[in-house]
């Protein structure tokens, strides 16, 4: 059985490497906020978002192997989705863990990841990451500082944690096509770790009124599209829980002057893919699943392959017909993904299936979960 799994892993690796080589395209970095590219004012944009990057010890070991035993290289893990990510006008990830330094790295339960993860995210094409999670304080304020420093060095923007009060109060604005996009990020908890003394702003915690206020502040700061990342839900549960459903309804119902305060909600944390749903006219991904994680065991202590399944959402936004109107999602898509723990690679399942890999059953399971709350009738389709 193990030999069979390794044969499949090697086959998948060969397939996705060949695909990435022929499909990957260079993408110019987006223009800075407030400085649109020439002719971009009326142009729509595509936004891609993916789930938890959660480097367990086995993932760290794999990155060291991929670096030839010196340093850590996480780029090969993400090569299979680089074609999708790099072609987007704006690509957002979820960096669930904090970074360590000088070889002091660890996996579960208190994560400290190599900072080379940030370089891999940038090389794959990610423009920004949400960083508020239940693991944000695994190494206290130092962990937050090291993480954001590394993301800054790699040119990857971030939202959800902060090194200073001023940074916590600053809206993360990213340019995509003709729009300034605000990215906000919040988590349900920090695994019982208290916020650092004198730093109540270090990690954004979920609070409905605060999220709405922040979204309105982002509009005031010039955001034409507001994206909210939320680390929420019940682990190992395919269906969104009541807290997710209630908060999604409340946030998508919030309006100012008839215009929704929030344009897209991206969910993480549950370890498994969850449904997409259009709520009050706004798309919500309840859970994208783990994009990168080691072999996962569920609450019963049993290996659970769902913990290595995920989706990547892709949304096409069109500019408003009139100034001050809402940027609308004109196309909503998802990409079923698998992290092959034997090969140590993220696999675009539809791309792998097209090349002959035997992944139809897992692809179909993810699709059934994603569509379980009726998203197909609102136009959600598998990305092509």
Alpha helices in the chain (DSSP H): 2-23, 57-66, 75-78, 82-87, 116-124, 140-154, 165-168, 208-220, 242-253, 349-354, 360-370
Residue 90 class from Cβ within 10 Å (0-12 exposed, 13-18 middle, 19+ buried)?
buried
DSSP code per residue over 134-159: TTTTTTHHHHHHHHHHHHHHHT-EEE
Residue 1 class from Cβ within 10 Å (0-12 exposed, 13-18 middle, 19+ buried)?
exposed
Share of the chain above pLDDT 70, in %: 89
Torsion angles phi and psi, residue 97, rounded to 5: -105, 165
Give the pLDDT confidence score for residue 40 in this predicted structure: 47
Q: pTM, whole model, 2 decimals? A: 0.90
Give the pLDDT confidence score for residue 71 in this predicted structure: 96
Q: 158 pairs with which residues across the strands?
A: 129
Degrees, nearest 5: CA angle 308-98-251? 75
3-state DSSP assignment of residue 74: coil
Tens of pLDDT, residue by residue, the chain (384 residues) = 333 333 334 344 444 333 333 333 333 344 433 334 444 456 899 999 999 999 999 999 999 999 999 999 999 999 999 999 999 999 999 999 999 999 999 999 999 999 999 999 999 999 999 999 999 999 999 999 999 999 999 999 999 999 999 999 999 999 999 999 999 999 999 999 999 999 999 999 999 999 999 999 999 999 999 999 999 999 999 999 999 999 999 999 999 999 999 999 999 999 999 999 999 999 999 999 999 999 999 999 999 999 999 999 999 999 998 888 999 999 999 999 999 999 999 999 999 999 999 999 999 999 999 999 999 999 999 998
d(CA 204, CA 305): 30
Of the candidates 167, 126, 128, the residue with the CA atom closest to the CA atom of residue 145: 167
Residue-range domains of the chain with CATH: 2-382 (3.60.21.10)
Give the pLDDT confidence score for residue 42 in this predicted structure: 67
d(CA 337, CA 310): 5
315-335 burial, b at 16+ Cβ within 10 Å, e below that, comes to bbbbbeeeeeebbebeebbbb
Ramachandran region, residue 296 (left: φ > 0; alpha: ψ -120 to 50; beta: rest): beta
The tens digit of pLDDT for each residue in 224-250 reads 999 999 999 999 999 999 999 999 999
d(CA 233, CA 230): 9
End-to-end CA separation in angstroms for the chain? 33
- CB–CB of 375/277 below 8 Å? yes
The tens digit of pLDDT for each residue in 91-145 reads 999 999 999 999 999 999 999 999 999 999 999 999 999 999 999 999 999 999 9
- CB–CB of 260/43 below 8 Å? no
d(CA 295, CA 111): 15
d(CA 70, CA 256): 53
Q: Report the DSSP pairing between strands 328-340 and 345-348.
A: antiparallel
Give the pLDDT confidence score for residue 384 in this predicted structure: 82
% helix, strand, coil for the chain, step of 5: 30, 25, 40
Of the candidates 220, 131, 218, 130, the residue with the CA atom closest to the CA atom of residue 181: 218
């Amino acid at each position: 059985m193990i030999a069979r799994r390794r044969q499949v892993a090697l086959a998948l690796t060969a397939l996705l490497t060949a695909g990435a080589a022929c499909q990957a395209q260079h993408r110019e970095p987006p223009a800075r906020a407030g400085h649109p590219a020439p002719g971009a004012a009326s142009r729509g944009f595509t936004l891609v978002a993916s789930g938890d990057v959660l480097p367990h010890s086995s993932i760290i070991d794999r990155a060291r192997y991929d670096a030839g035993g010196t340093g850590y290289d996480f780029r090969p893990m993400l090569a299979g989705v680089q074609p999708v990510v790099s072609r987007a006008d704006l690509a957002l990830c979820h960096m669930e863990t904090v970074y360590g330094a000088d070889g002091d790295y660890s996996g579960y339960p208190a994560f400290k990841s190599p900072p080379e993860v940030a370089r891999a995210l940038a090389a794959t094409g990610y423009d920004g990451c949400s960083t508020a999670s239940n693991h944000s304080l695994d190494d206290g304020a130092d962990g937050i500082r090291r993480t954001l420093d590394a993301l800054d060095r790699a040119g990857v923007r971030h939202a959800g944690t902060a090194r200073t009060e001023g940074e916590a109060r600053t809206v993360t604005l990213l340019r995509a096509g003709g729009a300034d996009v605000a990215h906000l990020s919040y988590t349900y908890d920090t695994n019982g770790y208290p916020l650092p003394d004198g730093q109540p702003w270090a990690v954004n915690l979920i609070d409905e009124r605060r999220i709405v206020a922040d979204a309105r502040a982002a509009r005031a700061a010039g955001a034409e599209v507001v994206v909210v990342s939320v680390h929420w839900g019940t682990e190992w549960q395919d269906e969104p829980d009541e807290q997710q459903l209630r908060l999604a309804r409340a946030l998508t119902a919030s309006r100012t002057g008839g215009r929704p305060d929030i344009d897209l909600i991206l969910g993480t944390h549950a370890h498994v893919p969850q449904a997409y749903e259009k709520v009050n006219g706004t798309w919500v991904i309840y859970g994208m699943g783990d994009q990168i994680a080691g072999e996962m065991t569920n609450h019963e202590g049993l290996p659970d392959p769902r913990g290595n399944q995920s989706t990547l959402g892709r949304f096409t936004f069109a500019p408003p017909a009139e100034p001050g109107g809402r940027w609308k999602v004109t196309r909503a898509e998802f990409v079923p993904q698998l992290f092959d723990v034997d090969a140590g690679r993220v696999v675009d399942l539809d791309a792998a299936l097209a090349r002959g890999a035997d992944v139809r059953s897992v692809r179909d399971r993810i699709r059934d979960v994603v569509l379980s709350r009726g998203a197909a009738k609102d136009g959600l389709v598998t990305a092509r």
